[in-house]
Amino acid sequence: MMVTNPVFYKCPGCSGTVMVMNPDMCMAPTPEDLSVSCAGNEMEILSEQTADFAKEKHVPIVEKVEGGIKVTVGSTPHPMAEEHYIMWIGVQAGDDFMLHYLNPGDAPEAFFPCPDTDVKAFECCNVHNLWVNR
């Protein structure tokens, strides 16, 4: 089954994220009606953001490179410090969803073996949450 419109939730306690791959198959009328929890904490649904207004840039940028694509977070490299960093970058290309985890100190970018740049790119900042390229 194809990942149609994944929905992401974040724990307010530990900042862990959960992806619901096919929320339209759930009995809940909308993703907002799902009950997702982490260690007793109700997880918050993350809205997809696409416009940068802060000095930190978050929108994923997709570029073709040899063997696939590179996704970079922000037109200006995003900070990657303990208190503020990109937790993961993901891409959805048709039936495929690929994810790359990052840690403080890493470069805010990831490589994916996709044949072209026609993908939906996601990234999750531990402070500013979920961002997409479209």
Taking only the tens of pLDDT, the chain with its 134 residues reads 555 688 899 999 998 999 988 766 777 777 677 788 999 999 999 999 998 776 668 999 999 999 999 999 988 889 999 999 999 999 999 888 999 999 999 999 999 999 999 999 999 999 999 999 98
CB 111 within 8 A of CB 97: no
Element (H, E) at 18: strand 17-20
Report pTM. 0.88
CB 20 within 8 A of CB 31: yes
The 10 Å CB-count burial string (b at 16+, else e) for 25-47 is eeeeeebeebebebeeeebebbe
Question: Which pLDDT does position 87 carry in this prediction?
Answer: 96
Q: Which domains are delineated in the chain?
A: 7-45 (no CATH), 60-132 (2.60.40.730)
